[in-house]
Amino acid sequence: MSKSQRLASLDVLRGFDLFLLVFLQPVLWALLHQLDTPAAHAVLYHFDHEVWDGFRFWDLVMPLFLFMSGASMPFALSRYVRRELPLSQAYRKILRRFVILFSLGMVVQGNVLWLDVSALKIYVNTLQAIAVGYVIAAAILLHFSLRGQIVTTAVLLLAYAVPMLICGDFSLEGNLSSRIDAMVMGHFQGDPTYAWILPSLNFGVTVMLGVFTGEIIRMAKVPSLHTAAVLLAIGAVLVVASLLLDPVIPVNKRIWSTSMTLLSGGYCMVLMAVFYALIDVCGIHRPFDWLKIYGMNSIVAYMLGEVVNFRSIVASLCYGFEQYLGEYYAVLLTFGNFLILFFILLALYRSRIFIKI
């Protein structure tokens, strides 16, 4: 089986993550808010981030982005790891990707398009977390053996956890991560309930968990249920470890706590095991192939979904429905907005135009 075939599950899982973000969640959010029933609010609860300690379904979306970026690295950087190509070339590639992702993150949430320096936010977005985590994980992958990678990843976990335990608590007001962000970024800081600088260590860990997953898949001679079972078992161990750690270091996505890193990484690995088993091992791909429309142009999907508003196009064609739909007209606009995005991605996919960074 070719390498591209073996990696089909990576594109599908990445597409699943993007579909959640730039179609399902915003459309569900618009619809269920209008329904305003207990069942609707129960669903919406899990399609929003946890307020502080705890973990909801929607808290998995960002870690899955980081995890998937790591899962492809053993394949993308394999020739540099084997020293078939010079490391200087690898680092040029890594630096280029870092700059592009970090800059795009500022476009999405850093207010850079406002063209107002006073409104600028430096480090606030998922793409920037991927950029930082990617650099950390790439350096580890390029310079350490597998044992060294495991040890270094554990050191990163400790380098986050120990200062957090010693210098404060895990409350919004008392945690070290938020205090560091406020001190370093000042008025360029984004939402103060989210921390970024110290959690960068754990961003690297999340990407490394993806790297380990990709390496396990790469080392398998052929796709097998045994490989899927290994991933499933490791994922389960990570989840259990996080739950045992939770009383000491609470699961908290907003400050990317150590227990959250393990929990989300475990969930990501379990998801990868399931998708790998179904698609790469069992060959059940047709029900999932449409997700590649999102997964193979993930950056385009993310940027268009987060930055560009197509509702004006929908409104210019469907304004006559407002008198009949009432408050549900907003649902139509949201659905049309993300349907247009889907058709753009479909056109790119059918034209075999895949924009990579």
- Residue 34: phi and psi, rounded to 5, are -75, -35
- Residue 340, judged by CB atoms within 10 A of its CB (0-12, 13-18, 19+), counts as middle
DSSP string, 272-328: HHHHIIIIIIS---TTTGGGHHHHTTHHHHHHHHHH---HHHHHHHHGGGHHHHGGG
Strand partners, 252: 54
Q: What is the pLDDT of residue 357?
A: 81
Q: Is 37 strand, coil or helix? A: coil
User: In the structure encoding, which two tokens stand for residue 189, read together?
Assistant: 């800081």
What is the residue-level pLDDT of the chain in tens, covering all 357 positions? Answer: 344 445 799 999 999 999 999 999 999 999 999 998 999 999 999 999 999 999 999 999 999 999 999 999 999 999 999 999 999 999 999 999 999 999 999 999 999 999 999 999 999 999 999 999 999 999 999 999 999 999 999 999 999 999 999 999 999 999 999 999 999 999 999 999 999 999 999 999 999 999 999 999 999 878 999 999 999 999 999 999 999 999 999 999 999 999 999 999 999 999 999 999 999 999 999 999 999 999 999 999 999 999 999 999 999 999 999 999 999 999 999 999 999 999 999 999 999 999 988
The string of pLDDT tens digits covering residues 112-141 is 999 999 999 999 999 999 999 999 999 999
pTM beyond 0.85: yes
Burial annotation 325-339 (CB, 10 A radius, 16+ → b, else e): eeeebbbbbbbbbbe
Evaluate whether 59 touches 206 at the Cβ level (below 8 Å). no
- Residue 252: phi and psi, rounded to 5, are -150, 110
The string of pLDDT tens digits covering residues 80-119 is 999 999 999 999 999 999 999 999 999 999 999 999 999 9
